[in-house]
């Protein structure tokens, strides 16, 4: 038996876009603008869904790793923008814990509030802050399934010492989702709510 | 800028153990025994934490993909056994949706109930059933953080048409967790509950 490997690799256009490795993003709005821009360009380039993210050094504003949704091209349902950004960030940092001693504090900036899976990934990643653009309900309104999250997820993260900042550039973030829907972008939801038995509401 | 790739690859011992590609696991107990055996061997080989999983064809009992916890060796906090199994399964199936038409029905068998992240990954994966060995509280008792899950997660999955089967070979699954603790195995919880602010209880 020889099981296949899985290789997570960013699209070439991301490398070109972010070729200036010295660039800093001093404000939280600039960091979110990059995440939203990644989401928009990901659709334009046909490399995945309308979601972008980045892991930034909270103090210097340097980008450690970007992320875009790569579910379809990589044939991998977990390749959401946040998971991609965290995975590449941990490879760059050389640690499965971005919060380990010797590392600067990092934050995860996401163009849309994380789905249930990505939300669950946040505490394991070691980031100190989660910064969100569009809200859960914005994604659901467009048709994306966000999954079943604990109702008190913000308090839960904060109880673990992870700050949560919401609605950063929300309008711009929502616009990318709505453009995607207007252009007839595919919304894949493998197992939607109400597929069997009694429907269950997330969030 | 050149961002690193991430390569997800099973340890060599897994390939050796599962070299008979024609083997079938007719009963749910045999499938769970493999997941538990993978968890045990993962610790023995020093390739990760005490968690194993597998994606099986529900009808034939053939293994599509195994998974073990590879967080530490791969420096990747999302490399839990379930995510590893689902990712490799999707590569083998050639689809991000294991529930897509043309594929047989698949199930995810996990030696321990999934953490919040892995639970959130289940609906996106396309599996039709989740089979669990040790319970969430068994993992927590040993010291593993399972994250904040919705209290009604079983009903939530079932509402999406994903069956849930619990307590399969639970005693054997718990024994692996307890052996790990007794042997002084490292339990890494990046951002534990109560790290800041008010502590928050997961389900």
Q: Whole-angstrom Cα distance, residue B191 to residue A119?
A: 13
Which among A124, A148, A190 is the nearest to B78, CB-wise? A124
pLDDT in tens, chain A (203 residues): 689 999 999 999 999 999 998 999 999 999 999 999 999 999 999 999 999 999 999 999 999 999 999 999 999 999 999 999 999 999 999 999 999 999 999 999 999 999 999 999 999 999 999 999 999 999 999 999 999 999 999 999 999 999 999 999 999 999 999 999 998 887 876 556 665 533 333 32
Q: What's the token pair of residue B91?
A: 């590569």
Q: Whole-angstrom Cα distance, residue B158 to residue B154?
A: 6
Burial class, B21, CB count within 10 angstroms (exposed 0-12 / middle 13-18 / buried 19+): exposed
Q: CB–CB of B94 and A75 under 8 A?
A: yes
Check residue A197 and give its pLDDT: 38
- What's the complex ipTM? 0.93
Check residue B200 and give its pLDDT: 32
pLDDT band at B203 (very low <50, low <70, confident <90, very high): very low
Give CA torsion, residues B86, B91, B92, B94, to 10 deg.
120
Task: Give how far A170 is from chain B: nearest CA, Å.
Answer: 24
pLDDT tens figures, B110-168: 999 999 999 999 999 999 999 999 999 999 999 999 999 999 999 999 999 999 999 99
Check residue A187 and give its pLDDT: 80
Q: Whole-angstrom Cα distance, residue A107 to residue B157?
A: 30
pLDDT at B202 over 80: no
CA closest to A21 among chain B residues: B1
Task: Give the domain ranges of chain B.
Answer: 23-182
pLDDT at B41 over 80: yes
* Chain B residue numbers touching A66 (CB-CB < 8 A): 3
Check residue B185 and give its pLDDT: 83
Q: Whole-angstrom Cα distance, residue A168 to residue A170?
A: 5
* Chain A residue numbers touching B145 (CB-CB < 8 A): 123
Q: Write down the H helix ranges in chain A.
A: 12-17, 28-44, 71-74, 81-93, 116-125, 136-142, 153-159, 170-182
* Chain B residue numbers touching A198 (CB-CB < 8 A): 155, 158-159
Contact of A174 with A134, CB cutoff 8 Å:
yes
Mean predicted lDDT score pLDDT of chain B = 93
Q: Whole-angstrom Cα distance, residue B203 to residue B175?
A: 22
Which among A21, A75, A126 is the nearest to B1, CB-wise? A21
Give the fold, CATH level 3, of B23-182. Cytidine Deaminase; domain 2 (3.40.140)
pTM of this structure? 0.94
Does residue A158 carry a catalytic annotation? no
pLDDT at B62 over 90: yes
Q: Whole-angstrom Cα distance, residue A123 to residue B116?
A: 10
CA closest to B128 among chain A residues: A191
Nearest to B55 by CA among B6, B16, B97, B17: B97
* Chain A residue numbers touching B2 (CB-CB < 8 A): 15
Check residue B194 and give its pLDDT: 65
């Amino acid at each position: 038996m020889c099981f296949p490997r899985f290789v997570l690799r960013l699209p070439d256009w991301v490398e070109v876009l972010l070729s200036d490795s010295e660039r800093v993003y001093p404000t939280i709005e600039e960091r979110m603008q990059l995440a939203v821009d990644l989401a928009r360009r990901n659709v334009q380039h046909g490399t995945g869904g309308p979601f972008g993210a980045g892991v930034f050094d909270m103090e210097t504003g340097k980008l450690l790793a970007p992320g875009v949704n790569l579910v379809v091209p990589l044939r991998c349902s977990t390749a959401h923008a946040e998971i991609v950004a965290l995975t590449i960030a941990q490879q760059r940092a050389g640690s499965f814990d971005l919060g380990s001693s010797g590392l600067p504090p990092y934050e995860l900036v996401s163009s849309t509030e994380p789905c249930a899976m990505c939300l669950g990934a946040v505490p394991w990643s070691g980031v100190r802050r989660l910064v969100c653009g569009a809200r859960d309900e914005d994604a659901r309104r467009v048709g994306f399934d966000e999954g079943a999250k604990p109702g008190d997820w913000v308090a839960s993260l904060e109880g673990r010492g992870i700050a949560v900042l919401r609605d950063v550039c929300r309008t711009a973030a929502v616009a990318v989702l709505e453009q995607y829907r207007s252009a007839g972008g595919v919304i894949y939801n493998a197992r939607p709510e109400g597929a069997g038995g009694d429907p269950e509401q997330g969030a």
